[in-house]
A and B are shown apart, each in its own frame.
Chain A
């Protein structure tokens, strides 16, 4: 059974750039959630995708967007990174029914200069 994978591992961007983060869900999982974890903080929910549609969104601006593909993998896209966006971006996959535990990937560490 393959776990959750994310790419890239690390990323350095300058303000205003656009970037795509990728996530492959664990085998058999149909739901993907994205979280932002600033240094010294707990993860903050960005959004969740189920059946290729957004299924809930946290308090993040519209420049944070996502996609889910038929194979349940997902992308997080951010237009115009800002300094405050420097964080660890975590992807988690799960089965939709019954508040099952979410399994997390290793994350993408983003630094905005």
Chain B
């Protein structure tokens, strides 16, 4: 069985501070994919990043960066110089290489509600 744990339920930081959202996952599969999604108050999930299990390089995209460590089964997300527009619920998700093709169900964590205080 697969599982994603986001231990931080809510985080509040003052604008321009850096913030890291934690994600720990469990899977028995050797090939798997990790995702981060952002859910603003409107409700629509916005895709941020996909990472496969064979690529442990950290990734940076503007103010966003991701730290993937297989040794600790973690895929953490850092926002640098946070802005009010970053306020949202952030979900980490996991899927594995399925028997038919790669696109199996996503297993989501419970999310972290991030509030940026102006």
Q: Which residues of A line the B interface, CB within 8 A?
A: 31, 33, 35, 40-45, 48, 50, 55-56, 58, 88, 90, 92, 94-107, 109
In the assembly, what is the distance between CA of A31 and CA of B95, in Å?
15
- In contact, A100 and B103 (Cβ under 8 angstroms): yes
- In contact, B105 and A48 (Cβ under 8 angstroms): yes
Chain A residues with Cβ below 8 Å from B104 are 48, 56, 99
- In contact, B43 and A106 (Cβ under 8 angstroms): yes
A36 CB to nearest B CB, Å: 11
- In contact, A109 and B102 (Cβ under 8 angstroms): no
- In contact, A43 and B102 (Cβ under 8 angstroms): no
Chain B residues with Cβ below 8 Å from A104 are 37, 44-47
Chain B residues with Cβ below 8 Å from A103 are 47
Chain A residues with Cβ below 8 Å from B93 are 42
- In contact, B47 and A58 (Cβ under 8 angstroms): no
Chain A residues with Cβ below 8 Å from B42 are 106
